[in-house]
Structure formats: C-alpha cells, structure tokens
Amino acid sequence: MMTFNIWVYMFMFLVGVVVFVLNRKHLLSMLLSLEFIVLSLFCLLMVFLLSLSNQSFFSMMFLTFSVCEGALGLSILVSMIRTHGNDYFQTFSVLQC
C-alpha cells in the first residue's frame, strides 16, 4: 500500500511538471502548476516521514517555505498585471526597466 501512495504522488509530480512546461503562456497557470508540484512534494515528504516514524517538524518548515513562495508569486503576478495590464509572457520583456 505504501508503494502505491509513492507512485501516485510521483505521478502527480510528473503531471505538474508537464503542465508547467506546456503552459508557459500565462503566469497564473504556471503558478498553479508550481503549487500542484509543491503539494505533491509535500505529500511525498509526509509519506516518507511517516514511514520512518520521524517527527514532522521538517514538514512544517516545508509548508512555511511553500506559503512564502506562493505569496511571492502572487505579488509578482499583481505587479505584472498593474504594469502591463495582463499576465502574458509574450508582452513582458526583461530588457524593459
């Protein structure tokens, strides 16, 4: 049963990576796929920590960093929409200051 959970979460991770690679048009869809990847990594981490019967202190640190990553991504999304009017990557140029 444990190996089935690991394979399901690995499949979730690979699906998240494929969606991240294929949906490069909008920043919001990329952020959602990144959060899906983080969720699958968190589930894998919890399965490994529960199988080793360790404390889940590291999982709380992982959740804290993933929430900070999500907040940073949303702030970049809001600033990009305010400056450019949309979240398309084709209209965003790194050379513009």
Contact 44, 13 (CB under 8 A): yes
Query: What whole-number distance in Å separates Cα of residue 48 and Cα of residue 53?
Result: 8
Cα(87)–Cα(97) distance, integer angstroms: 17
pLDDT at 1: 63
pLDDT at 72: 92
Helix pair 2-22, 27-51: axis angle to 10 deg: 160
**What pLDDT sits at residue 92?**
63
pLDDT of the residue at 53: 75
pLDDT in tens, the chain (97 residues): 668 888 998 999 999 999 999 987 888 888 899 999 999 999 888 888 888 877 778 888 888 999 999 999 899 888 888 887 877 766 666 555 4
- The reported pLDDT for the residue numbered 75 is 92
Question: Residue 79: CA atoms inside 13 Å, Cβ hemisphere, count?
Answer: 6
Domains along the sequence of the chain with CATH: 2-84 (1.10.287.3510)
